[in-house]
Structure 1
Amino acid sequence: MKKERLYEKLEDYKRASKRLDEAIKLEIHHDIIYDAVIQRFEFTFELSWKLMKMFLEYVGVSEIKSPRATIREAFTYGLIEDGDEWIDMMIDRNKTSHIYNEEEAKLIYMKIKNRYNDLFKQLADKIEKEINNI
């Protein structure tokens, strides 16, 4: 894999993260805003763990097959600072795609707004620095 491919994946991830950030800033006049934020969160999460996996494979960490394993390796490597919060994020992402409960959706929305969005931004910054240093 070439370094340019990592940059491309990073740019895709940053675009998705920016779109999530834009959705979070919308005032909630209708429940559809919750749905939009959650859908963008799902997409951004998928790109985040795949970006981490690609980066880790690029630097020689192989045999990563799942989001959970990727998060663990990313924490060990130092790409993310709080592995437990990323695991919580993964669990919430799984909840949003398998069940729909309005109260649960609103709780997850608040986590996205108050914490997960920052974790996504931190990951982008960290991976960009790491790629530049390779």
Structure 2
Amino acid sequence: MERLFEKIALAEKALGKLAEAADIEKPSELERDAIIQRFEFSFEAVWKTAQAYLRVVEGLDIASPKGVVRSCRELGLLTEAETAQCLKMADDRNLTVHMYNEPLALAIYERILGHRYLLVKWQQAVRARVDRERTEHGENEG
């Protein structure tokens, strides 16, 4: 369970970095690319935290981001609408390798502003479940 707590902390740090960057008004091209990069590593951190939760707490071994998203929906961590947005977010994450395509980079950047709030909500839902699990089983953090 200790490794799961480490993943939670890393995801929360990544989300803080994303929020910091996404709050830049009228970002330059370089700043926009940095925001996209921070989205990329924030998405990775959050889905891998959810993956670890599913493995450690729920006993599910899910290998892909979209499989993790669907499992989170089945367990009530995400609503149907949030699941649909998360699946689109996973597609956006996969498209970030095409940042040289200016129109695509701009489109992804615009969607990131909405994605970041869902990433935070998803992360908070996972953390709440882990905290509840720890409390129910009398485990101490750290």
Shared fold by TM > 0.5? yes
Change (3 A) 1:29 1:74: closer
Distance in 2 separating the partners of 1:106 and 1:28: 12
| TM-score, normalised by the number of residues in structure 1 | 0.91
Which of 67, 71, 74 matches 2:72?
74
- 1:85 is matched with 85
SS at match of 1:73: helix
Partner of 1:131: 130
Are 2:133 and 1:102 aligned? no
Between the two proteins, the alignment pairs up a number of residues equal to 131
- RMSD across aligned C-alpha pairs, in angstroms? 1.4
Unaligned residue ranges in structure 1 (runs of 5+): none
Q: Structure 1's 73 and 18: CA in aligned 2 closer, same or farther, altered over 3 A?
A: same
User: Residue type of the partner of 2:132?
Assistant: N
**Alignment identity in percent?**
34
Query: Alpha-carbon deviations, 1:75-109, whole Å to 9, x = none?
Result: 11122221110000000110112453111111111
Residue of structure 2 in register with 1:122 after alignment: 121
Which secondary structure state, in structure 2, belongs to the residue aligned with residue 78 of structure 1? coil
Unaligned ranges ≥5, structure 2: 134-142
**Structure 2 CA distance, aligned partners of 1:25 and 1:99?**
20
Q: Which residue of 2 aligns with 1:33?
A: 31
SS in 2 for 1:36: helix
Counterpart code for 2:129: E
**Paired residue for 1:55?**
53
How many angstroms apart in 1 are the aligned matches of 2:49 and 2:90?
Answer: 15
Q: Which runs of 4+ in 1 moved over 3 A?
A: none
Letter of the 2:123 counterpart: A
The secondary structure found in structure 1 opposite 2:128 is: helix
Distance 1:90 1:29, change over 3 A: closer
In structure 2, give the amino acid aligned to 1:93.
R
Give me the TM-score of the superposition, normalised by structure 2. 0.86
